[in-house]
A and B are shown apart, each in its own frame.
Chain A
Amino acid sequence: MALLEVKDLKVRVEEREILHGLTLTVNEGEIHAIMGPNGSGKSTLSHVIAGKPGYEVTDGEILFKGEDLLAMAPNERAAKGVFLAFQYPVEIPGVSTMNFLRTALNAQRKARGESEYSTPDFLKKVREVSKSLNIPQDMLKRGVNVGFSGGEKKRNEVLQMALFEPSLCILDEMDSGLDIDALRIAADGVNALHSPKRAMVVITHYQRLLNYIVPDVVHVMSNGRVVKSGGKELALELEASGYAQFEDAA
């Protein structure tokens, strides 16, 4: 069943059109990779799906579980199961990671009409997940992402993803800035979340990541459109020949 349907999406930022009619369908349980040159609109697409302000949708629609996603407030989308692991996670000084995780998780649960986690249950859950991601407990006491290394920030994104159990995970360049070991740990974390009901959209520049997170479908984005889709071998092809062939097509 289609989880996410982006249909002929046109998006403007400050009077300039960035996405020129993008179409993409992601079914439950699938892993999709999106590749494409710098500035082709990959992050823009992820932001529009998550509901970041500042983007004007001029045409097209986005359906999530069959519902009009664009009509929902961004926090509502989160509660419904849309998760975006940011390319550049921000720092929130003075707010401990633990407090942040708990506040966010309970906000989502409340929005879904679920009861809040008890403190022991919550702590147990965080401990389990952070252990599997090799995140030391000490780090969770620090301000959200404050003084975290690039790799730690990315792992913190995966940690949240594991805690919130979203049905759609969009990972924007989670591999950038990760060393080989960290990449493997993060990818294992992502794979552990893979389930028949959950879909992943992995934005990356490097086919290397796709050795760890094996996609069902690879899309090539260029100049605000998906210009080619194929199996995982498409990523290898791109690595060999670059994006030049698509630049003309776009």
Chain B
Amino acid sequence: MPAVQETVERVKRIDVDQYRYGFETLIESDKAPKGLSEETVKFISEKKNEPAWMLQWRLEAYRRWLTMTEPTWARVDYPKIDFQDLYYYSAPKPKKTISSLDEIDPEILKTYEKLGIPLREVAMLEGVEPKPGDQDPNRRKIAVDAVFDSVSVATTFQAELKKAGVIFMPISEAIREHPELVQKYLGSVVPTSDNFYATLNSAVFSDGSFVYVPPGVRCPMELSTYFRINERNTGQFERTLIIADKGSYVSYLEGCTAPQRDENQLHAAVVELVTHDDAEIKYSTVQNWYPGNSEGKGGIYNFVTKRGDCRGDRSKISWTQVETGSAITWKYPSCILRGDNSSGEFYSIAISNGYQQVDSGTKMIHLGKNTSSRIISKGIAAGKSQNTYRGLVTAHRKATGARNFTACDSLLIGDKCGAHTVPYIEAKNSSATFEHEATTSKISEDVLFYCIQRGLTQEEAVGLVVNGFVKDVLQQLPMEFAVEAQKLISISLEGSVG
């Protein structure tokens, strides 16, 4: 049965009342009926051809979720979300097996282009058709796993990765093709019961990326995903799982954009990272989802759980994020420093303008001996936005010799915005050394005028000064991302002064 027909049939079976709507939208996309129920969870699982254990896992999460309430401790304010008024699954057209970018719907590629996502360009430049022997060492390769709404529509570089033994595929495929890995690691860092949004994600996640790097392998290229939210009222529930086995290394880039939509859209992703002995994962994010309009209408609600488990000794996890989008950001990429001598890093740039609300930071949980962590956070608030850094650093009783360095700097542009720093520090043993520095400053009129006197416009001046302010963090990003991020920062601050 063709997939569209199959979906129509299935939707008919599920809910007669919602059939009409379902049918209409099916012309363009393949969508679950509105609302959340065990039926929705089953629908998603079935769509994905999932094995029984996966459905069971989802259903348990769903039942758990029913007993939970939304967290309210963050400094963000938004109208109550009606979870029954959302779609939980939406796929662009029936999925074919795609081996190259050329087979992707040109309309989809056009959308990417409009969003300034160089997917096609990247693929072209980086070797969809590599000339043999034509290896420019300066042009690092990026493998792209594009997620259009909920389904991965393109996966490039599979072949080369395969040669290295690296598994990089949509998680929906990994569930079918590598069930032993998925079963072993899924939910092992962020348990299904972790928090309201993570639990919701566990029940209804649609797709995301799966990466496994075998022992001793240095992943031959940067792995990259672009997320995009397209459908109206579709919650986006990505699930990403990255495992770096002993002595391996991988750098993963995540980029996100969403087209302009009037209604707020919910996004609740979960990312789990696991590093074994001597392994390292570098995870970089540039997030520029729709922040809402100048009156604070619309925009993405971004409730994300990202956590890395430094399970092995001497392992390392590094989070770098550039957050410029979303109406609400609730996000704390964290590290559990379980292995002895393991280390965690968090480098963050969070920019808020207009009516955006950001509550972001990290948790560094020191469990192993001689573990170290480093937090560099740069918050920039402009317009009428609120920007909060919330961080937790703890050292367990057994985490002797734990070290942390935290530096939180906030920059205010204008006088209608707010920056807040909320650090929690807990050392349960006396050998831990925690250092914390925090500054808050206003962008100086004299500095702006200096730049303007040298020929820059007001906006260029703000962009330059802010890029200088965040330089320590930008340097942590891979080159391709750093350039993009720099542009993004200037764009997101447009209209913040004057």
Contact of B455 among A52, A78, A88, A92 (CB under 8 A): A78
Q: Which residue of A lies closest to B470 (CB)?
A: A94
Q: Which residues in chain A, 46-72, are within 8 Å of chain B measured between CB atoms?
A: 50-54
- A27 at interface, CB cutoff 8 A: no
How far apart are B228's CB and chain A's nearest CB, in angstroms?
Answer: 31
How far apart are B462's CB and chain A's nearest CB, in angstroms?
Answer: 12
- A86 at interface, CB cutoff 8 A: yes
Q: Which residues in chain A, 95-112, are within 8 Å of chain B measured between CB atoms?
A: 95, 100, 103-105, 107-108, 111
A53 touches B449 (CB 8 A): yes
- B433 at interface, CB cutoff 8 A: no
Mask of B66-79 contacts with A, CB within 8 angstroms, 1/0: 00000000000000
Residues of A within 8 A of B471 (CB): 93-95
State in angstroms the CA–CA spacing of A79 and B457 once bound together.
11
- A84 at interface, CB cutoff 8 A: yes
State in angstroms the CA–CA spacing of A93 and B466 once bound together.
10
Q: Which residue of A lies closest to B457 (CB)?
A: A75
- Also in contact, A84 and B460, with CB within 8 A (given A90-B447, A92-B465): no
- Also in contact, A92 and B447, with CB within 8 A (given A100-B464, A103-B460): yes
Interface of B is mostly: helix
- B451 at interface, CB cutoff 8 A: yes
B468 touches A111 (CB 8 A): no
Contact of B445 among A53, A94, A100, A103 (CB under 8 A): A53
- B454 at interface, CB cutoff 8 A: yes
State in angstroms the CA–CA spacing of A143 and B442 once bound together.
19
- Also in contact, A104 and B449, with CB within 8 A (given A93-B469, A95-B464): no
- B472 at interface, CB cutoff 8 A: yes
- A230 at interface, CB cutoff 8 A: no
Residues of B within 8 A of A111 (CB): 455
Q: Which residue of A lies closest to B463 (CB)?
A: A103
- Also in contact, A92 and B464, with CB within 8 A (given A74-B453, A84-B453, A108-B455): yes
Contact of A92 among B458, B468, B470 (CB under 8 A): B468
Contact of B468 among A52, A73, A95 (CB under 8 A): A95
Contact of A95 among B446, B455, B465, B472 (CB under 8 A): B465
A75 touches B452 (CB 8 A): yes
- B456 at interface, CB cutoff 8 A: yes
Mask of A116-151 contacts with B, CB within 8 angstroms, 1/0: 000000000000000000000000000100000000
B467 touches A95 (CB 8 A): yes
B456 touches A107 (CB 8 A): yes
Q: Which residue of B lies closest to A108 (CB)?
A: B455
B447 touches A79 (CB 8 A): no
- B111 at interface, CB cutoff 8 A: no
B453 touches A50 (CB 8 A): yes
- Also in contact, A92 and B449, with CB within 8 A (given A75-B457, A103-B460, A103-B464): no
- A89 at interface, CB cutoff 8 A: yes
- B183 at interface, CB cutoff 8 A: no
How far apart are A115's CB and chain B's nearest CB, in angstroms?
Answer: 15
B contacts, CB < 8 Å to A: 444-447, 449-458, 460, 464-465, 467-472
User: Can you spell out 21 A-B residue pairs with CB atoms less than 8 angstroms apart?
Assistant: A50-B449, A51-B452, A51-B453, A54-B445, A74-B453, A75-B457, A75-B458, A78-B452, A83-B453, A86-B450, A90-B447, A91-B447, A92-B447, A92-B465, A94-B470, A95-B464, A95-B468, A100-B451, A107-B456, A107-B457, A107-B460
What would 11 more interface pairs be, CB under 8 Å, given A78-B455, A95-B465, A107-B460? Answer: A53-B445, A75-B453, A75-B455, A92-B447, A100-B464, A103-B464, A104-B451, A104-B454, A104-B456, A107-B454, A108-B455
